[in-house]
Structure 1
Amino acid sequence: MAKPEYYYGVHSVESLLELEPERVLTLFTLKGRDDQRLQRILQLAEPFGISVQKASRDSLEKLAGLPFHQGVVAAVRAHPTLNEKDLDDLLEQNPDALLLALDQVTDPHNLGACIRTAAAMGVQAVIVPRDRSASLTPTARKVAAGGAEKVAFIQVTNLARTLAHIKDQHHMRVVGTMLDEKALPIQKFDFTGAVTIVMGAEDTGLRPITQGQCDQTVYIPMAGNLQSLNVSVAAGMALYEACRQRNLV
């Protein structure tokens, strides 16, 4: 049996109990905590007979790996890792899907924030390369605040090859966010239909091999003097524009 994963934080654990309670093995809660948010979590767990154990702050910190656990940690049956085959299946079922691809975004906080925004904006899947990229660590899940249970998280061996495949086999358009001579203001791009938005890390941007798979590049017009944004902020702005055009907001 695979080792359990550990979810921590009120939003993350609450969302898991609402969407996939069958995966929760044990809840660990802080000794002495008995507030309304914790009671809500315990009420969600009760019908499924989930074991609840009281734990010290130090014990919770060891389980979570960080001190910011908000007094609740869940030991969870590990989810199968989704891959290229799962992406094909998803696109067969959602031919007009909106996807977000992240090119070598290595900070789990940024990954979690991107996933949270993706869930809010109706994205069907977040795609990352298996190497040189953040994965769904407990930190990323906590920052995602439940979004990781609502959006497919797909790890692929080669991002550029995957983009080429979904363009060829699923007729998706791939739009990359970067400022070059061919880039359009983001509001000028048509985000309706099957589209994948590709974001790069804020320090390195999109790799040339990834740029080569983009049908179009776009940029976010800014009134200030800064020319770059944190990737999770830029993802939020790009996804909101896509969501607006697709009449989802």
Structure 2
Amino acid sequence: MSMQKKHGKIRKGGNKPRRPDHVKAGAPGPALPPAKGGQYWLYGNHPVQAALANDSRRFRMLACTKAQADAYGATAERRGIETKLVDRASLDQLFPEGTVHQGIAALVQPLEETFLEDLLFSLPDHATYVVLDQVTDPHNVGAILRTAAVFGADAVIMQDRHAPPESAVLAKSASGALETTPLVRVPNLARALEHMKDAGFWCAGLAGESETDLPDFTRPDRAAIVMGAEGSGLRRLTRDHCDVLLRIPMAENAVGSLNVSNAAAIVLYALCSR
């Protein structure tokens, strides 16, 4: 029978893995460094796991509870990331009340910027972009990134103004897709649509008043789906730069239109499954 030391006493037990040497134990409730200089604390299993798998993501520190140390220690050690063992109260202090951090957080730098011109330069014959016109809620942008990843869209594009910055909330809503699906910011959305058209994209805007139903749209090889903010929808200039406007057929109801992230899921399923 194997014997194992724990807290200065001998106990009976199995071959429990030893905590990696680089994981530093912390006293209950130690203060973790604040995010500064553009950094932010990423949290949750899916976002942190995806970030660790992305060699382009730069880390300053990983903080986890004892229960999560074995799950993250080896990968963090391979990447040379300092890992601090803390209690849940220390992680709670980093985030708003009620945040589900799952005992894991990472202090990270924002991802390096991806440029539309670079994507268009190496464009495949069959491509799908999602273009967001002043969608400001980070939960919605994150959910659309997740949907884009699931249905194989190649990028999500939005204007750099009137759009949420990269953040923990956006990353959590994306459930790891922020690390795999390019999130591209452009200074001028109308000009970006023109660049996409020059590259062979057909730009289809989503508008409830359109007379063309989504199922009647013949999908081209390169399609850009353009979606506006809830309520206001697409701006006039954005509409003018779309080749066609589409609507999602809906029954008469007391609810009204769909949430923009739900609408994105429907459109991407319809187009990417053809």
Normalised by the size of structure 2, how large is the TM-score? 0.79
Describe the superposition over 1:73-127 as per-residue Cα deviations: whole angstroms up to 9, x where unpaired: 1112332223xxx212212212432100111111111111001001111111111
Q: Is the 8 A contact 1:4 1:77 kept in 2?
A: yes
Question: Counterparts of 1:81-100 in structure 2 under 5 Å?
Answer: 81-82=113-114, 86-95=115-124, 96-100=126-130
Pair 21,89 (structure 1): closer, same or farther in 2 beyond 3 Å: closer
Give the Cα separation in 2 of the matches to 1:197 and 1:108.
19
- 1:16 is matched with 51
The answer as to 2:203 corresponding to 1:174 is: yes
Identity rate, percent = 36
Match of 1:25? 60
1:165-205 Cα deviation digits (max 9, x unpaired) = 221x2121100111224x31111112231110011111111
How much has 1:153 moved relative to structure 2?
Answer: 0.6
Q: 1:45 to 1:128 in 2, by over 3 A?
A: same
1:98-247 residue pairs with structure 2 within 5 A? Answer: 98-167=128-197, 169-181=198-210, 183-225=211-253, 226-245=255-274
Q: Kindly provide the amino acid, as one letter, of the partner of residue 55 in structure 1.
A: V
Deviations 1:51-88 (A, max 9, x none): 11123444324444563322211112332223xxx212
- Using the alignment, how far apart are the partners of 1:161 and 1:4 within structure 2? 30
For the structure 1 residues 158 and 58, does the alpha-carbon distance in structure 2 shift closer, same or farther, using more than 3 Å as the test? farther
Q: 2:105 aligns with which of 60, 68, 73?
A: 73
1:21–1:48 CA contact under 8 A, matched in 2:
no
Instruction: Look up the equivalent residue of 1:69 and give its one-letter code.
Output: H
Where structure 1 has 5 or more consecutive residues not aligned to the other structure, the ranges are: none
Structure 1 partner of 2:39: 4
Displacement of 1:25 in angstroms is 2.7
Aligned length: 236
List gaps (5 residues or longer) in structure 2. Answer: 1-35
Q: Distance in 2 between matches of 1:196 and 1:224?
A: 28
Aligned equivalents of 2:92 and 2:163: distance in 1?
A: 25
1:50 to 63, 81, 84: 81
Q: Distance in 2 between matches of 1:81 and 1:58?
A: 34
Distance 1:171-1:192 versus aligned 2 partners, 3 A rule? closer
- Deviations along 1:194-241, one digit per CA (max 9) or x if unpaired, are 110011111111111111111011111123514400000000000111
Q: CA RMSD in A?
A: 2.1
CA distance in 2 between counterparts of 1:241 and 1:39 reads 41
Structure 1 match to 2:33:
none
In the superposition, relative to structure 1, how do residues 219 and 26 fare at CA in structure 2: closer, same or farther (>3 Å)? same
Amino acid aligned to 1:8: Y
Give distance in 1, aligned partners of 2:158 and 2:174.
15
Contact 2:146 2:175 in 1 (8 A): yes
| Stretch deviating more after TM superposition (218-227 or 197-206) | 218-227
Greater RCO, 1 or 2 (C-alpha within 8 Å, sep 6+): 1
User: Structure 1 CA distance, aligned partners of 2:145 and 2:57?
Assistant: 22
Q: Which has the higher helix share?
A: 1
Q: Of the two, which has the highest radius of gyration?
A: 2
